[in-house]
């Protein structure tokens, strides 16, 4: 019996969340600030980001 190779393909869904405080009149104004670009999303490697990985599928070829 010989050796065979197999490729395992895993597909994940990743979700990142961060909660920040922003000076604004109300919640809708905060959203407007981010959508307009007048408020900056924290940098990618900010330790306050929480990442969740969910395996969506696993296939074999």
Phi, psi of 14 (to 5 degrees): -115, 135
* Residue 16 included in any domain: no
* Residue 9 included in any domain: no
* Residue 48 included in any domain: yes
- 57, 8 Cβ separation under 8 angstroms: no
Residue-level pLDDT at 11: 98
Question: What is the C-alpha to C-alpha distance for residues 46 and 38, in angstroms, rounded to an integer?
Answer: 19
Residue-level pLDDT at 47: 96
Query: In terms of pTM, does the model score above 0.75?
Result: no
Residue-level pLDDT at 10: 97
Domain count, the chain: 1
* Residue 41 included in any domain: yes
* Residue 38 included in any domain: yes
* Residue 14 included in any domain: no
pLDDT digits (tens, 9 = 90+) for 5-50: 999 999 999 999 999 999 999 999 999 999 999 999 999 999 999 9
Q: Which domain holds residue 34?
A: 21-60
């Amino acid at each position: 019996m010989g050796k065979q190779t197999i490729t395992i393909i895993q597909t994940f869904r990743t979700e990142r969340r961060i909660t920040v405080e922003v000076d604004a009149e109300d919640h809708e104004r905060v959203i407007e600030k981010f959508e307009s670009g007048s408020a900056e999303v924290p940098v990618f490697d900010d330790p306050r980001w929480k990442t969740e990985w969910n395996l969506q599928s696993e296939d074999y070829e």
